[in-house]
Structure formats: C-alpha cells, structure tokens
Amino acid sequence: MRRWLMLKAFAWMTAKFAEGDCSLVLKLMADDVRFIFPGRSSFAADITGKAEIERWLKRFVAMHPNYEILDVMVSGPPWNTRAGVRMRDRIGDDYSNEGMHYLLMRWGKVCYDRVFIDTEAVSAFEQRHPEFAGVG
C-alpha cells in the first residue's frame, strides 16, 4: 500500500514538475536536504539546502524534460524510510537517459537524494547543445 501511495505521489509530483512547477518537490524536502548529481557535466552537484536545490531544479525544468517514473521501491519505518525511484528523462529527440534516485526520508521529508544516471549521456548532450551547458 505504501509503495502504491508513493508511486501515485511521485507521478503527480512529476506531472507538476514537467509543467515547470518545482514547489511540490521542494515542499517534500527537509530544509537541510542533500542532493547529489554525479559526473563532470555542468549539472554535477553535491549541494545542501532547499535554496541551492531550487536553483538546480529550475535550471533542469527550463529544459522541458519529459520525466517519467518507472518504478518505486520503499522500505523502512516512517522515521527512516529508504526509497528507490527508477525514472527516465528525455529532452527533445536526441537525449534520453534512465536511472534512479536513492532517497532517505524522515517523516515524509526527503533528507538525501542521490541520482544514479548515465552521466556520460548528460555530458554528450551538453556537447551537442552548448546553449544548455553552464546555463543557470
């Protein structure tokens, strides 16, 4: 039941995100949330706090990604929940990537979000589209 609820919540949140609205994502984050996006692209980040993450999210959503939730896995009690969110994102016709977010949550708030994705595909996209590299 909890997995189904989280899947529905993530799907709703993703729909809002695709419309350019980051507010719901941010509401579900703890004030001191840590976000890690690995790699060497201009999107690479290891940041803490909602303000920094909001800047990152707004930059990403400005690219109009098609972001799709494929699966959600949930484990642990409400005060120490771990979740894996398998996703796919597409931008235009020449970028597609699939990966997952590993989340740590406390009482419904995300405290930690680590993205696992093909970072070489992100770098290659930036090389093909330099207008997106470093924009933000």
Domain CATH number, residue 94 = 3.10.450.50
Overall pTM surpassing 0.85 (yes/no): yes
Domain assignment of residue 134, yes or no? no
Q: Which structural domain range is residue 71 located in?
A: 2-128
Domain assignment of residue 12, yes or no? yes
Domain assignment of residue 57, yes or no? yes
At 134, is the pLDDT very low, low, confident or very high (cuts 50, 70, 90)?
Answer: low
pLDDT tens-digit readout, 7-47: 777 778 777 877 888 888 899 999 999 999 999 999 999 99
CB 126 within 8 A of CB 132: yes
Domain assignment of residue 136, yes or no? no
pLDDT of residue 1: 65
pLDDT of 110 > 80? The answer is yes
Q: In total, how many domains does the chain have? A: 1
Domain assignment of residue 14, yes or no? yes
